[in-house]
Amino acid sequence: MSTQTPPSRDPRDPVPEPPLGPGPTDSDPLFDDGFVEEDAKKGHGTWWLALGAVGVVYGDIGTSPLYAFREALRPAARDGVTEAEILGVVSLLIWALILIVGLKYVLFLLRADNQGEGGILSLYALVQTRARRAGLIFFLGVVGASLFFGDAIITPAISVLSAVEGLELIHPDMDDWILPIAVGILVGLFFVQKRGSGGLAAWFGPITAVWFLTLAGTGLAQMVHKPQVLLAFDPFHAVAFVAEQGTVGFVVLGAVFLAVTGAEALYADLGHFGRKPIQLAWFLLIFPSLVLNYLGQGALVLDDPAALKNPLFLLVPTWLLPPLVGLATVATVIASQAVITGAFSMTRQAIQLGLLPRFEIRHTSEHSTGQIYLPAINWMLLAGVLILVLSFRSSDALAAAYGIGVSGTMVVTTALAFVMLTRVWNWTKAAAAAICLPLLCVEMCFLSANLLKLPDGGYVPVMLAMVLFVTMWIWHRGTRYLYQRDQDRTVPLDEFVPQIEARQVLTAPGTAIFLTGDPTVTPPALLHNLKHNYVLHEHVVVMTFQTMDEPHVPDERRAVIEKIDDRFTKVRIRYGFMQTPNVTRALNVCRKQGLKMEGMKTTFFVSRRKLVAEAHVGLPLWQARIYVLVSRLATDTSDYYHLPRDRVVEVGLQMPI
């Protein structure tokens, strides 16, 4: 079923973008999208995919031990630290992992897939056509996506900084080099994005697996000296700590949340690896390693409270510090790469859902459809990351800005999951509430605790999210306005065809393909071409791209061809919200289904409109100006749809908004 929301448009091209739909498959040469195709999944096997998930899915959460325990215990340790406080914080960390990551994401949300795909926008696409309050669902989806982008900028900054800060333990004089080294690593990371990560991606899983085994080993080695730290498994210590500490305990909750900030990646990467490999990786390696490390850090501080300065690196003797710092730095780079890739994928989904303009999308691999590169997003992320690093200058300071976006996204995901259970799975509200309400209560506590960070830097992700929310809301609103305006002004195609066939018009040889967003109306480019050139081609194809509310459309469902008469044909090309369209390749499918055309005698006609912000026309003037400004970021229509440039005719017009 396709979405009812009007497709998004390139502001420079009045042709609306296709509705929601599925992504690419190995058998489909037309589209390059997706990360691990179904055939690849079948070929590699569950265990190989589980190893890959260790690097891509769990890279972010795997770097949390660098700072989570330290930042969580620090507020309570200002007047000295006690055994009860240490056990309480470790218990909070363990049970946060169990409840948020284990129960919600690994066991529950991984089953709430949209045709095998996960993530907040996939969930939004799944429920938006079935919910009674479409406006509320749209609001939740946009808020969740905005918050995700807000914290996506912080993750590379805090991860790389926290790893490089281990250098000061090796030699105090290296303290002045921490910031330049971190900046150099981050700049290098973003500059290599255009080449893709395909050659290195095969190493992500093994390297990150070594990192997790190191976390487990160092934690276990320290834990045996203070076995009483195992008492932290008792949730009583977590509850007692929060109750006794009062306001401080609430502040600690915000820092404890740092331990689960990579959880949303579990759901977002569902389509890349599948549910079973992600679950196997969690239960067999990730969860045990994280728990052992937090227990080890707790045991270390029990033995030496001064170790709270940097407990993870102090788990090892001095002679092991250099390799540990090096391994931690590589792990944070891998985690940052996963976040950047996630931002690219999230942007592509937002484009297909009509929430953002069509940014340029480049494919960096001929084999892996999910390896994409968005230049505009890449450089905006780099600018944001560098501003954060140079402004906050340490992972301690950045920790105050971290967590609000992720906790907000988690609350939104739980709310959408409730709608999914009642509207898609047809659960009763009572049964859905029994699952979602306890999770929502826990996440609201974390969100409330994180909101206390607003004055100390938490305003950063909130401001970023607000800017993105307003941008996506205005883009969606402006697109709907333009769509409705087109509906009011255009000529129905079923009226135009009989009228034009009854008239004498010059006929040009070959085929003309007119791209449009609505197959029921006559494309503006067709009307303008006829008005100014007084000619129609021998064959006219009205082509519409439709995004389905599923992630992947198989090749056999790609094209729907409807012959109107001997001259006019309507073609609808369907693809998913995880896919990028390619007109040239899509025509191969059409030819196989009987659509006759000769490549060199085919001309593509597209409309290019220049938007002008004017008062008292459509949107309020300030919104119209923002819409026009954002529209200039959109990539060229020919590039986005992969049209052959030497056979494209653009028909321009000016339109106030």
Contact 88, 264 (CB under 8 A): no
| Beta strands 362-363; 372-373: pairing state | antiparallel
- Choose one of 441, 476, 511: the last residue of a domain: 476
Residue 177 burial class via C-beta count within 10 angstroms: exposed 0-12, middle 13-18, buried 19 and up? middle
Name the average pLDDT for the chain: 82
In the predicted structure, residue 3 carries a pLDDT above the cut 50: no
Residue 15 falls within a domain, yes or no?
A: no
- Choose one of 445, 476, 507: the last residue of a domain: 476
3-state DSSP assignment of residue 655 = strand
In the predicted structure, residue 27 carries a pLDDT above the cut 60: no
Domain tally for the chain?
2
Q: Which residue has the higher pLDDT, 520 or 23?
A: 520
323-349: pLDDT as tens digits: 999 999 898 888 888 888 888 888 888
Contact 605, 533 (CB under 8 A): no
172 and 226 co-located in one domain: yes
228 and 355 co-located in one domain: yes
469 and 498 co-located in one domain: no
Q: For residue 315, list its beta bridge partners.
A: none
521 and 466 co-located in one domain: no
592-629: pLDDT as tens digits: 888 877 767 888 888 777 788 887 777 888 888 898 88
Phi and psi, residue 575, nearest 5°: -150, 170
pLDDT band of 371, cuts 50, 70, 90:
low
164 and 60 co-located in one domain: yes
Question: Which two three-digit tokens encode residue 119?
Answer: 């993530």
Could you give the CA distance from residue 271 to residue 355 in angstroms, rounded to a whole number? 21
Residue 485 falls within a domain, yes or no?
A: no
Residue 238 falls within a domain, yes or no?
A: yes
Length of the chain: 657
Residue 28 falls within a domain, yes or no?
A: no
420 and 537 co-located in one domain: no
Q: Identify the residue whose tokens are 């309570």.
A: 76
Phi and psi, residue 553, nearest 5°: -110, 125
- Choose one of 442, 476, 510: the last residue of a domain: 476
What mean pLDDT is predicted for residues 535-548?
A: 85
24-28, 95-99, 372-376, 561-565: which range is least confident on average?
A: 24-28
425 and 548 co-located in one domain: no
3-state DSSP assignment of residue 506 = strand
40-54, 97-111, 255-269, 278-292: which range is least confident on average?
A: 40-54
Contact 73, 294 (CB under 8 A): no
Question: Which two three-digit tokens encode residue 536?
Answer: 């129609």
Cα 38 to chain centroid, rounded: 20
Question: Which two three-digit tokens encode residue 433?
Answer: 């509430």
Residue 560 falls within a domain, yes or no?
A: yes
Contact 322, 351 (CB under 8 A): no
469 and 371 co-located in one domain: yes
3-state DSSP assignment of residue 164 = helix
Q: Which residue has the higher pLDDT, 125 or 197?
A: 125
44 and 76 co-located in one domain: yes
What mean pLDDT is predicted for residues 542-559?
A: 79
470 and 496 co-located in one domain: no
496 and 470 co-located in one domain: no
Residue 13 falls within a domain, yes or no?
A: no
What is the CATH number for 255? 1.20.1740.10
Could you give the CA distance from residue 627 to residue 362 in angstroms, rounded to a whole number? 24
* CB atoms inside a 10 Å sphere around CB 622: 11
Q: For residue 16, list its beta bridge partners.
A: 9
- What pLDDT does residue 199 have? 56
- What pLDDT does residue 230 have? 94
In the predicted structure, residue 228 carries a pLDDT above the cut 70: yes
290 and 171 co-located in one domain: yes
Domain around 524:
491-656
- Mapping DSSP onto H, E and C, the string for 625-636 reads HHHHHHHCCCCC
- What pLDDT does residue 574 have? 86
Residue 19 falls within a domain, yes or no?
A: no
Residue 27 falls within a domain, yes or no?
A: no
174-196: pLDDT as tens digits: 788 889 999 999 999 888 888 76
133-142 CB contacts, 8 Å cutoff, 24+ apart: 137/416, 137/419, 138/476, 140/412, 140/415, 140/416, 141/353, 141/412, 141/416, 142/355, 142/469, 142/472, 142/473, 142/476
3-state DSSP assignment of residue 171 = coil
